[in-house]
Amino acid sequence: MRCSGETNTKDRGDETEAKVIHEMISHGYSVSIPFGDNDKYDLIVDDDGQLYRIQCKTAWQNKEETIRFNTHSQTTKKGNYHENQYHGKIDAFVVRYPRNGKTYWIYVNEATVQKMELRFDAKIDHPSINWAKEYEFTGEIPPRKCAYYSPT
């Protein structure tokens, strides 16, 4: 057994994925896991026939009232660094913030490039702020903000 604080990124990702699966199943959704590790999505969530390709991410505290998560993947192949975006390859990110135990559902077309921040509190209300409460998963898959985008 590891001592506290000794988890690596793979372990952290596996824990997030397991907690997201639990969260979805406990709210009545069917969850499928793709075979292998080469897909851009971690899970498929079935909402009564509507399928969503999900990428699970773990958020970390960025500033006092802000959390952040990556909206891209990073790999090294043959010594070369590669970044890959998820647009067109997934439908949504389901993000877990371990410190409060909450999950957040963010459609890929609403996510920013590279990293996205969710804010809990601010002194001002600015249109560019992504409020955590607006993305908090409460058991129902949220409606899309943009009607033109639909999952495959």
User: Can you give the pLDDT at residue 51?
Assistant: 97
| Residue 46 CB partners (closer than 8 Å, separation 6+) | 29, 30, 31, 32, 52
* pLDDT over 80 at 91, yes or no: yes
Please give the class, per CATH, of domain 9-135.
alpha beta
Higher local confidence (pLDDT), 60 or 64? 60
Task: Report the DSSP beta bridge partners of residue 45.
Answer: 31, 52
Cα of 21 vs its chain's centroid, Å: 12
Higher local confidence (pLDDT), 148 or 70? 70
Kindly tell me the sign of the dihedral angle through the C-alpha atoms of 53, 22, 117, 110: positive
Residue 133 structure tokens: 């409460």
Count CB neighbours of 68 within 10 A. Answer: 17
User: Can you give the pLDDT at residue 108?
Assistant: 96
* pLDDT over 90 at 38, yes or no: no
% residues pLDDT > 70 (the chain): 91
Cα–Cα distances (Å) from 116 to 72, 88, 123, 134, in that order, read: 10, 18, 20, 14
- The pTM for the full model equals 0.86
